[in-house]
Structure 1
Amino acid sequence: MTDLFELHGRTALVTGSTRGIGRALAEGLAAAGCGVVIHGRNAAQASAVASELHDRSGIPTTGASFDVADADAVAAGVARIEAELGAIDVLVNNAGIQRRSALADFPVEWWDEVIATNLTGAFLVAQAVARGMVQRGQGKIVNIGSVQSLLGRPGITPYAASKGGVVMLTKGLCADLAPHGIQVNAIAPGYFITDLTESLAADAQFDAWVRQRTPAGRWGSVDELVGALRFLSSDASNFVNGQTIYVDGGMTAVV
């Protein structure tokens, strides 16, 4: 049974993995024996994180840098990875940004930026990686959504729209790619403490709201996302397709 979760010998590209949730996901895959491509817009930072992860785990890692919202850059970046490392067996579409503002004052360029990175970027990278997966007749794509894939909050309408789109992108990719032996699923995290959310966790009012709103009564720890990713990246999920797993301490299960 444990062989179902075996990841040794596979290679994963994790976009937006130089920090936060993306880095935790990349580290979790490496700990399971999966080779990892650390991706970020800063090439030096991606390479540094990859080197650090390799030194710690002994697993093959490398850095990659391209703009997920630029179709030509994505195509070139994926081609470069495949030329240097071979097949990408697992894609984790994690790259994303957040912008906050009252709706009436929300700059349209922020909307464009959020949608381009969070939604168009996930489509472009999935499209590029899926071409090789289709030829091989197998592959795993895991898109990272959010509780905002299902729930809205004031001040982040574009983000919620983009993450809602990620869930439907997952279903659409499933429809296109499942006949080729490829599984496409999503993980939707709740509120996790990272370097990007430290200011929110430090806000006593917001911290209290998260704890009261979450049945588990606490924030998540990023390592608690790894189990779901390992499942969706392994043969254990070979008949799971088009699904979204909410890892949120129960937030989306209650009113």
Structure 2
Amino acid sequence: MSLDYSQMFRLDGQHAVVVGCGGIGAEIVAGLAAQGARVTCLDKDLTVAQAALERAPGGAAYPVDVLDPGDLESRAGDLGDVDVLVLTAAMNVRKRLLDYTAEEFDRVVDLNLRGTFSAVRAFAPAMVERGRGSIVTLTSIRAVVVEPGQGVYAATKAGVMQLVRTWSAELGPAGVRINAVAPGVVETPLTQQIRDDEQWDRAYAQKAALGRWARPEEMVGAVCWLASDAASFVTGSQVMVDGGWTAIDGRFTPPT
């Protein structure tokens, strides 16, 4: 069946679930709702989920702990048919590898890698049974390039991308797509420490080809596209929304 080009980016009549509704997640909730989706907001902090829901009329908000597979599976069962799943929950402990504690390592790996694994395991089986669905998870430029102090976070994001590739192979025959969106440096509360340092802030801005930080809402278009029929033949991909960060070789612009 051919695509209706006038509607292929729309999500009317679809049920989208967003896990992790603060920061970029809140913008994704608003973007999915604007495209016509009915959005369910899930977050460990119910107040965060409820705040995001204010921009998605007709949706719902519930608490969920992605580190509790039983909680995820129970919630997935209660929500009924889900057409779109978006995963944003993640954390970082910015330390050099030799300074990391075992407890810090476990916290970052558990949320970023195991949490993603558990969320897909909870929601994907019903998509497989129905023969359709789109899953989008947020990775990072750190899945591709690193710097001192980002090692464990980078390893988890690269690991998530390898899971995405494997899931695309395993779920694709059932009609379920899974992709990743990799943000660059984004103006969120989590990056405030960096932006408060003038040199650090300027260095990060200048590393991107566009010469600036991203705004959270600039991540939404890629997510909505991957969720929609416009990306019906896209799976196993990582879309770089990084302002050209990973396209540039080094931070020095030589004279030409």
Aligned partner letter, 2:164:
T
Unaligned runs of at least 5 residues, structure 2:
250-256
TM-score, with length taken from structure 1:
0.92
* Aligned: 1:90 with 2:92: no
Tell me the secondary structure at the aligned position of residue 2 of structure 1: coil
Which residue of 2 is the match for residue 29 of structure 1?
32
2:142·2:150 contact (CA, 8 Å) conserved in 1?
no
Deviation at 1:233, TM superposition (A): 0.4
Deviation string, structure 1 residues 148-190 (Cα, Å, up to 9, x no partner)? 0101121121110000111111101101100000111100000
- Partners of 1:47 and 1:251 lie apart in 2 by 34
Give aligned pairs, total: 245
2:29·2:52 contact (CA, 8 Å) conserved in 1?
no
Which residue of 1 is the match for residue 197 of structure 2?
203
TM-score, with length taken from structure 2:
0.92
Deviation at 1:66, TM superposition (A): 1.5
Deviation at 1:48, TM superposition (A): 4.1
Aligned partner letter, 1:2:
S
1:4 to 4, 8, 30: 8
2:107 to 99, 110, 113: 113
Deviation string, structure 1 residues 45-73 (Cα, Å, up to 9, x no partner)? 323432x224xxxx321112121122111
* Aligned: 1:230 with 2:224: yes
Which residue of 1 is the match for residue 254 of structure 2?
none
Identity across matched positions, percent: 37
- Partners of 1:16 and 1:233 lie apart in 2 by 17
Aligned partner letter, 2:83:
D
Deviation at 1:80, TM superposition (A): 2.1
- Partners of 1:146 and 1:45 lie apart in 2 by 22
- Partners of 2:42 and 2:197 lie apart in 1 by 30
Which residue of 1 is the match for residue 20 of structure 2?
16
Tell me the secondary structure at the aligned position of residue 95 of structure 1: coil
Which residue of 2 is the match for residue 221 of structure 1?
215
Deviation at 1:132, TM superposition (A): 0.7
Tell me the secondary structure at the aligned position of residue 17 of structure 2: strand
2:97·2:152 contact (CA, 8 Å) conserved in 1?
no
1:65·1:77 contact (CA, 8 Å) conserved in 2?
no
* Aligned: 1:141 with 2:135: yes
Deviation at 1:102, TM superposition (A): 2.7
1:74 to 31, 54, 72: 72
Tell me the secondary structure at the aligned position of residue 189 of structure 2: coil
- Partners of 2:190 and 2:29 lie apart in 1 by 17
Task: Identify the structure with the greater helix proportion.
Answer: 1
Distance 1:97 1:177, change over 3 A: same
Which residue of 2 is the match for residue 155 of structure 1?
149
- Partners of 1:227 and 1:81 lie apart in 2 by 25
Deviation at 1:35, TM superposition (A): 1.1
- Partners of 2:127 and 2:62 lie apart in 1 by 19
- Partners of 2:214 and 2:234 lie apart in 1 by 24
- Partners of 2:65 and 2:110 lie apart in 1 by 10
- Aligned-residue Cα RMSD (Å) equals 1.2
Deviation string, structure 1 residues 118-143 (Cα, Å, up to 9, x no partner)? 11111111111111101110000001
1:103·1:157 contact (CA, 8 Å) conserved in 2?
yes
